[in-house]
Amino acid sequence: MRRSPSFVALVGNGLSVAANPELALDRLTRRLVAGNEELRRLVESTTTTDAATDFEIVIGHIEARLAEAEHVAVSLIAEEGLHTARALAFKSTAEALWGGLYLDYCGQVLNAICDLTTGALPRRVVAFGTWLRRMHRIHGQTAIYTLNYDVLLERLLFDGRGLKGEVSDLFSGLRDREEWVHPYPGCPPLLARPFDPVSAPPRAVRFHHLHGCVTYLEAVGTDDVLKLTHKAIREHNVFGEMKQLDTPRYRPCVILGSGKAERAAEYPFVHGFRALAEDAQSVSTLVIAGYSFRDEPVNVLLREAAQHAERVIVIDRREDPLDRARFQRDVSNLLSREILEWHLDGITGNIPLDAPRARTAA
């Protein structure tokens, strides 16, 4: 039976940036665009000044090209018949160009994230993981949500004296449902866990990648979603090999670019958003760390949670006084809540375990 958590944490890209500044979205996008001729031409053809530094804009333009190609192909088929060579050739060429570019870009983003999140972690980041675990011990039932594609939070929660045996991520479940898969021809069999929201064990910590993860793959044309290990993804260059295929069997299971609201309502992502909607009703302590508040489906659920929580903690890095004041005003308005605990010196574990008013009363 699913137990409602009293401690809920939402962690955004600020954690990744704290671990490695090169994971800032503008730096990551600039690096990838500079190394891809097709992407560079696409960016140069746009009128958006942020196109070269915002991967969501880049993905949005690629998705728009795919949609345009699909529209033209449908029109040609309607005018000339389903099997017209011109319509089929156009559709095939467009899908090969823009679909291949989409997969290539996704692969580059995810590979870069893999590369930039290995190695030792800064002390402040490790301390934040320790603080999360301590907060869980105080509350007993916890739900942790992240918008990041990397596995940094898994490292913080599981490594050393972590919570590995206490965490369920909807891929946990019956061991006999584990399977061996070949993500691309010639790949040795890799162990995978299927997405299994029904039989996931009711452990004390529930963990959700709301936008997917570098380790998640979905089978094209089916509802099958699998989780591989971070090590397997890296060692076998899964994304690099998949982008070479004309008709890949698998693709990254992530929400990238535009259409976030639509994708959030689709399988498998809808399960995470439904869980957050339920947890918003029971939360007593809500933590929002390293989140930019740019995702409206997430904002709606955070606003609901903030109305029920006794304690709301916002963690971010805002060094400029004017920027800090603007951020505090905007977040207070967005959450429709005046009383918030602010920790705006970056990701850290130097945060009180209990509410300041409780300590004062003692």
The Cα–Cα gap between 15 and 2 comes to 28
The Cα–Cα gap between 125 and 261 comes to 30
- The strand pairing partners of 191, in sequence order, are 180
The Cα–Cα gap between 152 and 15 comes to 8
| Averaged pLDDT of the chain | 82
The Cα–Cα gap between 227 and 217 comes to 6
Does residue 51 surpass a pLDDT of 60?
A: no
Mean pLDDT of 69-74: 68
pLDDT at 53: 57
Does residue 5 surpass a pLDDT of 50?
A: yes
pLDDT at 83: 54
Q: Which of 59-63, 108-112, 201-205 has the highest mean pLDDT?
A: 201-205
Mean pLDDT of 318-339: 95
Mean pLDDT of 25-51: 68
With pLDDT > 90 as the criterion, what percentage of the chain qualifies?
43
pTM of structure: 0.85
pLDDT at 357: 53
CB 231 within 8 A of CB 192: no
Mean pLDDT of 88-106: 60
- Residue, of 165 and 238, whose pLDDT is higher: 238
Which tokens in the block code for residue 281? 């009703």
Average the pLDDT over each of 63-72, 153-162, 239-248, 329-338 and give the range with the smallest value: 63-72
Residue ranges with strand state E in the chain: 7-11, 142-146, 167-168, 179-181, 190-194, 205-209, 212-219, 225-227, 250-254, 285-289, 311-315, 341-343
Reported as a pLDDT band with limits 50, 70 and 90, residue 244 is: confident
pLDDT at 50: 58
pLDDT at 361: 33
- Residue, of 28 and 351, whose pLDDT is higher: 351
pLDDT at 28: 72
Does residue 46 surpass a pLDDT of 70?
A: no
The Cα–Cα gap between 207 and 146 comes to 8
Does residue 205 surpass a pLDDT of 60?
A: yes
| Residue from 8, 1, 5 nearest 285 by CA | 8
Does residue 101 surpass a pLDDT of 70?
A: no
Which tokens in the block code for residue 20? 């490695």
Alpha carbon of 8 to those of 197, 226, 306: distances in Å?
A: 19, 25, 11
Does residue 34 surpass a pLDDT of 70?
A: yes
Average the pLDDT over each of 112-121, 150-159, 310-319 and give the range with the smallest value: 112-121
Average the pLDDT over each of 161-165, 270-274, 289-293, 350-354 and give the range with the smallest value: 161-165
Does residue 207 surpass a pLDDT of 90?
A: yes
pLDDT at 270: 95
Backbone angles phi, psi at 71, to 5 degrees: -65, -45
The Cα–Cα gap between 312 and 231 comes to 36
pLDDT digits (tens, 9 = 90+) for 130-186: 999 999 999 999 999 999 988 888 888 877 667 878 888 888 655 667 889 999 999
Alpha carbon of 286 to those of 10, 25, 140, 306: distances in Å?
A: 8, 25, 14, 7
SS (H, E, C) 196-254: CCCCCCCCCEEEEECCEEEEEEEECCCCCEEECCHHHHHHCCHHHHHCCCCCCCEEEEE
